[in-house]
Amino acid sequence: MGHRSSLTPDQRALELGHIIDPGFVNHRKVQTIQGPGLMKHIDRAISEIPNLPDWQLRVRIDHIYAEAMILFCQHLGIRSLQDILATQTGQTGQLFCSTERLLPCPAVYNAERASSVWENPGVYPFRVELHYSTRHIVSDTLRSRLSEGSIISIIAQLYSATPDLLVFEPIIMGFPWLVENGQHPDFEIMFHGYDFYEHFVEDFDEFSKVAEIPVPLTSNRMRHISEAAFKTCLAEIVGDVAEKDWGGEQSDYYSAHLHLRGRRVTAAFVLKGPANFRPMGLNHLGKNNDQIVRLSHAPAQVLVVQHSHDITVPVRETLRAFSVQPSRPRRYCLIDGRDSLRLLDAYGLYAKAQELSRKQKQK
Query: pLDDT > 70: what percent of the chain?
Result: 97
| Res 348 pLDDT > 80 | yes
**Closest alpha carbon to 348 in 231, 237, 254, 219:** 237
Dihedral angle of Cα 155, 159, 162, 167, to the nearest 10 degrees:
-50
| Res 113 pLDDT > 60 | yes
Check residue 88 and give its pLDDT.
Answer: 82
* For range 112-125, the mean pLDDT: 93
Q: How confident is the model at residue 287 (pLDDT cuts 50, 70, 90)?
A: confident
Return d(Cα 324, Cα 314) in angstroms, integer.
15
Q: How confident is the model at residue 290 (pLDDT cuts 50, 70, 90)?
A: confident
Other beta carbons less than 10 A from residue 262's beta carbon: 8
* For range 149-175, the mean pLDDT: 96
pLDDT tens track for 173-197 = 999 999 998 888 988 888 888 889 9
pLDDT tens track for 31-65 = 999 999 999 999 999 999 999 999 999 999 999 99
Domains (ranges, CATH) in the chain? Answer: 17-179 (2.40.50.140), 195-362 (3.40.1350)
Check residue 2 and give its pLDDT.
Answer: 65
* pTM for the structure as a whole: 0.92
Q: How confident is the model at residue 248 (pLDDT cuts 50, 70, 90)?
A: low
User: Do the beta carbons of residue 153 and residue 176 sit within 8 Å?
Assistant: yes
Q: Which residues touch 337 (CB under 8 Å, ≥6 apart)?
A: 219, 222, 307, 308, 309, 310
Check residue 267 and give its pLDDT.
Answer: 96
* For range 343-360, the mean pLDDT: 94
* For range 18-28, the mean pLDDT: 96
Other beta carbons less than 10 A from residue 19's beta carbon: 20
* For range 160-170, the mean pLDDT: 94
pLDDT tens track for 254-276 = 999 999 999 999 999 999 999 88
* For range 283-299, the mean pLDDT: 87
| Res 246 pLDDT > 70 | no
| Res 363 pLDDT > 80 | no
**Closest alpha carbon to 350 in 243, 189, 219:** 219
pLDDT tens track for 227-244 = 999 999 999 999 988 777
pLDDT tens track for 72-91 = 999 999 999 999 998 887 78
| Res 118 pLDDT > 70 | yes
| Res 199 pLDDT > 90 | yes
